[in-house]
Structure 1
């Protein structure tokens, strides 16, 4: 699967040159001129890596990074600062702000590609570690179902809780309750694993849960799943 990159830089020449090199390196690149345009893009897209300048009009890179980190479905995205501010104190400020990598202009484009690939490998490894064991999760769901049936909570007499779920979020919830992993859900719904991660994160927020097991329990207890 081709990695999707978001490039944010107010210099047209930099955007064109960096985009062209990254596309030639096998990435899919969306380039925008400022942080506001980037935030609008992020409302409907979740890239694999964000590359952003720091010194930009209206909203600088630090404020943009802070805004991204505050959104649950975006907070995991690696962010690279690509900037002319290359002093040691600037790098320290960048890392303190929460960037994952800092590359000063002028830079070697091959180094940027190497950084992106390294961040993507780290993200993939983190996702693999975070994925629960399928057999264990299936057992947990079976135990939850049995417990709720015994307690008479599977079909509560009180009206089911009303959540503002989109049709896609509801579909993802049903498949999570069945014990499917993100890759399997993505395959069934014909979308990307990244999109499924986004939907699961939104479900955590809307249900006030923090794990798949808690999410399944919540859905069964409140009549949100069969």
Structure 2
């Protein structure tokens, strides 16, 4: 689905070519020639996704991404690294830094559009699932969560708590949100507890879905309890 994209690259020719192709595909594209300019654009208008080069003067892509991930406003923003560095170690570093996709140059423009579309579609689905919509039966969700917690406490076979099979690196704020979701709190309640906006809570819950491979609050709670991911 079309959305607004921030493209950060210090190569004018490639930047213009990528911008033109994305705009031809229906996306609204903001451009920046370096990370500092990219940060200024971020603060002026929140895009739906960021495409960034890695090898840039002064502030490279890794530092730019780290700056985004340390800011609550941009922590869950999808980021694609578009770079000439295609070594496995570089890709691993990119994923560890928190990028969502990594596309080495030269690349097929159609593949870039496919990745962008996939990330935006996934984000839309998760954000919708993360929101407390009027159509949701909140009382039913609370009851399901309470039942899951009760089953764990009583040691029933429906839920078995085991060590997490893999380490999931939650940020401190993600962990706080996860703990409150496990308690059965809804987004508005979590927002009040953490003194943040409901929209930010939705983004955190959406990112928790993504990191745990779950698609609903009850699935997330079950997963967290089964693998001991909550801290309270």
- TM-score, shorter chain, exceeding 0.5: yes
Equivalent runs, 1:1-226 vs 2, <5 Å: 2-134=2-134, 211-215=187-191
- Other structure's SS at 2:44 match: coil
TM-score after normalising by structure 2: 0.60
Aligned 8 A contact 1:137 1:213 in 2:
no
Q: RMSD across aligned C-alpha pairs, in angstroms?
A: 2.6
Report the CA distance shift for 1:212/1:104 in structure 2 as closer, same or farther (over 3 A): same
Q: Which runs of 5+ in 1 are unaligned?
A: 140-203, 205-209, 220-226
Q: For each residue in 1:134-169, what CA deviation from the matched residue of structure 2 results, as whole angstroms up to 9, or x when unmatched?
A: 266888xxxxxxxxxxxxxxxxxxxxxxxxxxxxxx
Aligned 8 A contact 2:6 2:29 in 1:
yes
Partner of 2:228: none
Q: Which runs of 5+ in 2 are unaligned?
A: 140-176, 178-185, 196-232
Deviation of 1:109 after TM superposition, in Å, equals 0.3
Deviation of 1:93 after TM superposition, in Å, equals 1.1
Greater Cα radius of gyration, structure 1 or 2:
1
Aligned 8 A contact 1:4 1:28 in 2:
yes
Report the CA distance shift for 1:99/1:215 in structure 2 as closer, same or farther (over 3 A): closer
Aligned 8 A contact 2:132 2:187 in 1:
no
TM-score after normalising by structure 1: 0.62
Partner of 1:198: none
